[in-house]
Each structure stands twice: as C-alpha cells, then as structure tokens.
Structure 1
Amino acid sequence: MKSILLLAFILVQLVHVSAASPATGFVAAPDSLPVPKNIRHMKFYVQRDPNANTVIYQLNTTPQGKLNEKEPIHVFWIRYAEGGERRELNYVQRRFAYGLQTRKLAQDHYELKFVCYNKLPLYLRKANDGHHYVYTTINQKEAILDSIFVRIKGGTFWVPNVLYVELKGRDAATGKALTGRFKP
C-alpha cells in the first residue's frame, strides 16, 4: 500500500512539474530572474529553468537566536510563477532534488552537499564578524556563495539535461564579485 501511495505522489509531482516544463517555451536568462529580497538570514538561493520559482537556503535558528545544529539550513520555495507564495519543499524535492546533506565538522562549521549532486561541497561557517556564511570555491578562490543558476534543456523529471551550473558569489578575502560555470 505504501508503494502505491508513493507512486501516486510521484505521478502527481510529475504532472505538476510538466505543467511548467521547458515545453512551455520559457527559457530563463539568469540576470532577468527575480532576486529574493528581505529574507532574514538568507545564505544563498537557487534558480533554474523552466520558470522563475526560486529555492531559498536560509540559516535555521532556534527561537533563542542560536544556530539549529540538527538542521542548520532551512530550505523552501518562493513561487514567483505563482504570485510569490512561500512554500515548503515537498518530500521528493527535499530528498531527491534541492535538499542538503549536512555534516558537522566543528563548532559553527558544517559541510553541506546537495542531495542531487554531492560533488559541490559547501561549507557553513561562522566568520570573524559573528555572522554565518556559506563558502564554496569559484574560479579556484574561496568565495561566499550568493546564488546558483542551473541551465536545463530537456531530459526528464528524474534526470534533467543540465547544460551548466553557474555560481555567483564574493571573494572571501577581497569581497570582489565572482562568477563561475561548470558542467556537472
């Protein structure tokens, strides 16, 4: 019975995603997509074809303002294509696409990896200014990550054809803007 329910859920997700698939003709230009604003403790965001909906990665704190060590990053949608509604990721999105695997390395230092692509290590660390940032490597430089854009052309729900991934951030040492692309 559980298998049938899971299959039904996946099929509903496939229908929902197909309604906004690249077949609609929408091709996002990374610089034309909305930039999320006024999201407290947003660390970075992810955008991709086929629409302007955006996945937000936000520092997850307790009611006392301390970092939630069990789940230091909270991930959710801003559904710009649906009036800017905020919505939680569903099970499939969290477990197979946009969720993060988190591993504590030390006090205020975590390794983060996407569940769908574990070859891009990210690191959540507390900086000298007392704030947490997500770090990665862009063009062989340590950078504070601001955004990720994923260019998709065709493929399927489970295996999209990713043409490239574009990372945008700031050099951790100088603050200079950095952009880099790679083919996964």
Structure 2
Amino acid sequence: MKHTLLLVCLINLILPVLAQSGYPKPSNMKDVLFYIQHNRGHNTYIYALNRLDDGNINKKDPIEVYRELFDEDGKIKPLSVIQRNFAYGISTQVVDSDSYEASIVSLPSQKFFLHIKSNKGSYVETTVNNVKMRVERIFIQQKEGTSGLGTKVDHIIFYGKSGHRSVVEKLEIKE
C-alpha cells in the first residue's frame, strides 16, 4: 500500500513536468517577472516590469503584459482586447512605495505581490497550497473540449523559489 501511494505521488509530480517538455523560454528575459504558458500551443504570456522612457518603473502601471508568439516565429505582440479583459490582463494596487498587490483577471482570487528592488532584484510572490514562493513561471492545463471564452482550466502549475529551493505547486481548479 505504501509503495502504491508513493508511486501515485511521484506520477502526479512528474507528469506535469513531462507534459511541458519542449516549451520555449521567452527570448528576452530582461525585466521579466514571470511568464505563463498553456497546453494549447507554445505562445507565451510575459509579465515584465513596465519601465518609462527614462528607465524608471511606471508607478501607475508597474507590470506590462505582452505575448511572444512562438507558434508564429516568435513575434512579440500586445495582448488582444479579449486576452487583456478576460484571461491574461493584470490589475495592480499600491501597497507601499516599493510593493503592489496584483491579480490576473481570469484568476482574481490568486493574489500576487510585486516587490520592486533598486538592485534589479524585483520579483513577484504568491502563495499556493500554503507555500509562499517567488514566481518564475506558470503552466495552465486547459480542459479538453473547451476553447475561446468557454475555455475551462483543469489545473495550474506554479514554478518558483521558496527561499533557496525550487518549488512546484499544483493548484486544482474546482468548478
């Protein structure tokens, strides 16, 4: 019985990683806070520090979201109106002079916290399954047979760091 339980746990940890083999990293990681990919293609949604022309962080809108279309030769494009308003857009609220609370429009209950550091160490934190982590990337497993505005999510996998160790946390989506 112990061995069966251990095998089931290992399979649940390994399968999400195997399902993402071959996914590309964004081509320019400068100022990237984290990025999102999903099982319906390799296009990547990138969340980066939003800098003004003078190089300072845009305090009114500190996170810029855009997409890298790996399925179309790696073109960089802004989010479409539908993507911004119903899926990948992000809203932020000031916490203090160097911190913001943020949420992605399609998952408003999952709070993210942007911490701006002057030494280029800015990062985003969130808590998944009671594990606080610096988010590096997110993978969304969409349910088969759903698409467009009716897309349903099976689970979301968060990759990041908790202290100095790498962590992977799976968030099951209940309907």
Normalised to the residue count of structure 2, the TM-score between the two structures is 0.82
Distance 1:111 1:179 in 2: 22
Partner residue of 2:114?
124
SS across alignment from 2:148: coil
Helix, strand or coil: the match of 2:156? Answer: strand
The unaligned stretches of length 5 or more in structure 1 are 1-27
Aligned runs of 1:67-146 on 2, under 5 Å? 67-127=57-117, 129=119, 131-146=121-136
Residues of 2 paired with 1:78 and 1:130: CA distance? 23
Consecutive unaligned residues of structure 2, counting only runs of 5 or more, are 1-17
Residue 161 of structure 1, CA deviation: 2.3
Alignment equivalent of 2:171, drawn from 170, 174, 182: 182
Query: Whole-Å Cα distance in 1 between the matches of residues 165 and 119 of structure 2?
Result: 18
Q: 2:165 corresponds to which letter in structure 1?
A: K
Judge conservation of contact 2:136–2:159 (CA < 8 Å) in 1.
yes
Aligned-partner Cα distance in 2 for 1:44–1:150: 14
* Partners of 2:33 and 2:120 in 1: CA distance: 14
CA distance in 1, matches of 2:19, 2:133: 23
Aligned pair partner of 1:151 in 116, 141, 150: 141
Distance 1:73 1:182 in 2: 23
How far, CA to CA, are the matches of 1:108 and 1:77 in structure 2? 26
State the partner residue of 2:151: 160
Q: CA 1:34–1:117 in 2, change beyond 3 Å: closer, same or farther? A: same
Aligned length: 155
**Structure 1 residue 50 corresponds to structure 2 residue 40:** yes
Q: Is the 8 A contact 1:139 1:179 kept in 2?
A: no
Conservation of the 8 A alpha-carbon contact between 1:138 and 1:179: no
Q: Offset of 1:102 from its aligned partner?
A: 0.9
Amino acid at match of 1:64: D
Contact 2:128 2:171 (8 Å CA) reproduced: no
Structure 2 Cα separation of the partners of residues 128 and 90 of structure 1: 31
Percent identical residues: 28
Deviating above 3 A after TM superposition, structure 1's stretches of 4 or more consecutive aligned residues are 127-130
Return the offset for 1:77.
Answer: 0.7
Q: d(CA) in 1 for partners of 2:120 and 2:72?
A: 36
Q: CA RMSD in A?
A: 1.7
